[in-house]
Amino acid sequence: MERDEITIDLREMVLYVARKWKLLVLCMVILAVLCDVFSFASSAKGKKDEAAEAKKKIETIKEVDEVDQAFGAYSKYKEQYDNTFDYISGSVMMGLDASAVAKDSIVYRISSEDAIDIAKSLESFTADDALCKSMADILGCEEKYAGELVSVKNTTGEVSLGNVKMDLTIDSAVVVVTVYSSDEAKLTDLGNVVSSSFESYAASMSNTYGQFGIEQVAQQQGMISDSELADNQQNTNATLDSLKSAMDSFGTSFTAEQTKYFEALKDNMKADDKEKEISYINVKYIVLGAAAGFILPAIILAILYILSRKLKAVSDVSDSFRVDVLGNVVDGTDKAKAQEQIEYICAQLAVLAEKSQKKNIVFASTVDSKNLAGIDEIADKAIGKTLSDAKYAGAVLTDAKALKVLEAAEGVVLIEKLFATTYNDFEKELQLCKRLNVPVVGCIVVR
């Protein structure tokens, strides 16, 4: 029997590609990662190549050394500038308005023979982690910037603190705990947690100086103009400006080629800084990689589908080889479901066999049991239930016993599996049936 021209069913081809979705997803992930890595690597290499090329164009080693030395100094200034800039940007203290700042001044009097020494020692009080956390929780700021809002100053010798008169004896001293706040409403809460921490710290100094007296004698809260805070802010901003000026001064006397090399080195530093700040993700390249990971494998699968010389669709059996399709069984379903499907097909055959007076019907295939994945065994059981005189022969092209069973049959039902049975084998099977004068009743297709 000659087969008709094989036609490609686009719907079946799309379904075939879609059934390979796990492979497509894997390819998408792999190419997306590779493209992102390529983007990062090529970008970094491009920057380094620019610096290397600029360096080659400089005429003397001395000029190269001049640039390298200048860049080394520039890098140190740049690091200091970045640290200062980050501090100014995040610091609560630097964000305060010195002309009207919320300030709490808590005055303590120390009574002891060593009062002066104790007062000087208390100036070393700084906010510990627990205090910083408490202050940060109140202000809603970062813990690392909370500690600088507290300071302790030995004011012994000053006759007054604002409106508070200092009444000191020879065995007494005064320290002032200062607390700044970005919100006047939170100043009292801050003062309470700071004074509690400070008093605990002062109590611990009794191990060094013995028992001494310390009492809070005054407290001033409110919005004030603070010149000391203003000076500190001004000095910090001036430091940032001087660092910027120093950085800008490098390279002013370089030749054109030295300048290109110096700028390329600076660009490399900027690229390194970006790598530290952001993740190595390039969304554009990831999307392109994922798209390529889907499209290219899909095209390859479609080409392989078209070029395949195996049965690809149920229509190949009915349209190209003109063999009736009695039904199809989906491979991979549970055996009970497959047996139920085959039993239904066999029931139809029993009716046809009775009408045509054909009792000896054989089930045969071109593929072995391994490729049928147990469907042949299920078919054998189903045949016994519905067709008492029928039997399963097996692979008639390779099994001599199956061939003898086929030879004695009055009709044959073929069981073939898509993407396992080749066109040539199926055609040979049909020709064999024709030579043995065994009519083909139909075909069961395993998908």
pLDDT digits (tens, 9 = 90+) for 56-74: 777 688 888 888 888 888 8
Q: Residue 441: what pLDDT?
A: 84
Is residue 356 scored above 50 in pLDDT?
A: yes
Task: Kindly state the greatest CA–CA separation across the chain.
Answer: 133
Q: Residue 277: what pLDDT?
A: 44
Query: What mean pLDDT do residues 109-116 have?
Result: 87
Smallest CA-to-CA distance from 363 within 395, 338, 332 is with: 395
Query: What mean pLDDT do residues 218-242 have?
Result: 90
Output 277 or 84, whichever has higher pLDDT. Answer: 84
pLDDT-derived band at 234 (thresholds 50, 70, 90) equals very high
pLDDT-derived band at 159 (thresholds 50, 70, 90) equals very low
Is residue 166 scored above 90 in pLDDT?
A: no
pLDDT-derived band at 272 (thresholds 50, 70, 90) equals low
Output 240 or 270, whichever has higher pLDDT. Answer: 240
The mean pLDDT of the chain is 82
Coil, strand or helix at 326: strand
Residue 280, C-beta contacts closer than 8 angstroms, at least 6 positions apart:
36, 37, 40
Positions of E strands within 112-234? 150-154, 160-161, 164-165, 172-181, 213-224
252: exposed, middle or buried (C-beta count within 10 Å: 0-12, 13-18, 19+)? exposed
pTM as predicted? 0.50
Is residue 26 scored above 90 in pLDDT?
A: yes
Using DSSP bridges, classify how beta strands 150-154 and 101-111 pair: parallel, antiparallel or unpaired: unpaired
Is residue 45 scored above 90 in pLDDT?
A: no
DSSP 224-241: E--HHHHHHHHHHHHHHH
Q: Residue 238: what pLDDT?
A: 93
Output 204 or 326, whichever has higher pLDDT. Answer: 204
Inter-residue contact 178 to 87 (CB < 8 Å): no
Question: In 91-226, which residue ranges form alpha helices assigned H by DSSP?
Answer: 115-122, 129-139, 187-204, 206-209
Most confident of the ranges 10-19, 291-300, 409-418: 291-300
In angstroms, the CA 78 to CA 424 distance is 75
Is residue 228 scored above 60 in pLDDT?
A: yes
Q: To 10 degrees, what angle do helices 256-277 and 61-90 make? A: 40
Most confident of the ranges 76-85, 354-363, 375-384, 392-401: 76-85
Query: What mean pLDDT do residues 346-368 have?
Result: 75
Inter-residue contact 446 to 375 (CB < 8 Å): yes
- The continuous run of DSSP H or E covering 365 comes out as strand 361-365
Q: Residue 357: what pLDDT?
A: 67
Residue 136 tokens, joined: 């940060």
Residue 258 tokens, joined: 């030295």
Smallest CA-to-CA distance from 290 within 279, 298, 280 is with: 298
Query: What mean pLDDT do residues 424-440 have?
Result: 90
Is residue 158 scored above 60 in pLDDT?
A: no
**Residues 14, 19, 25, 31, Cα dihedral to 10°:** -50
Smallest CA-to-CA distance from 105 within 193, 213, 168, 195 is with: 195
38-52, 56-70, 108-122, 124-138: range with lowest mean pLDDT:
38-52
pLDDT-derived band at 208 (thresholds 50, 70, 90) equals confident
Q: Residue 280: what pLDDT?
A: 61
For the chain, how big is the Rg over CA atoms in Å?
A: 45
Query: What mean pLDDT do residues 38-59 have?
Result: 67
In angstroms, the CA 262 to CA 54 distance is 9
Is residue 374 scored above 80 in pLDDT?
A: no
Query: What mean pLDDT do residues 255-273 have?
Result: 78
Query: What mean pLDDT do residues 16-26 have?
Result: 90
Smallest CA-to-CA distance from 47 within 271, 378, 279, 294 is with: 271
Q: How many CB atoms lie within 10 A of CB 387?
A: 19
Inter-residue contact 147 to 131 (CB < 8 Å): yes
Query: Using the 8-state DSSP alphabet, how is residue 145 labeled?
Result: G
Query: What mean pLDDT do residues 118-147 have?
Result: 89
Residue 120 tokens, joined: 């000087």
Q: What's the distance, Cα to Cα, between the start and end of the chain in Å?
A: 24
Query: What mean pLDDT do residues 71-89 have?
Result: 89
DSSP 391-421: EEEEETTT-HHHHHHHHT-SEEEEEEETTTS
Q: Is the dihedral of CA 9, 10, 15, 17 positive or negative?
A: positive
Output 1 or 347, whichever has higher pLDDT. Answer: 347
Residue 139, C-beta contacts closer than 8 angstroms, at least 6 positions apart:
92, 146, 181, 182, 183, 186, 190
In angstroms, the CA 326 to CA 306 distance is 25
Is residue 24 scored above 70 in pLDDT?
A: yes
Query: What mean pLDDT do residues 401-406 have?
Result: 86
Coil, strand or helix at 293: helix
% of the chain residues with pLDDT over 90 = 13
Query: What mean pLDDT do residues 164-184 have?
Result: 77
113-122, 335-344, 421-430: range with lowest mean pLDDT:
335-344
Is residue 334 scored above 70 in pLDDT?
A: no
Q: Is the dihedral of CA 335, 341, 344, 346 positive or negative?
A: negative
Residue 134, C-beta contacts closer than 8 angstroms, at least 6 positions apart:
193
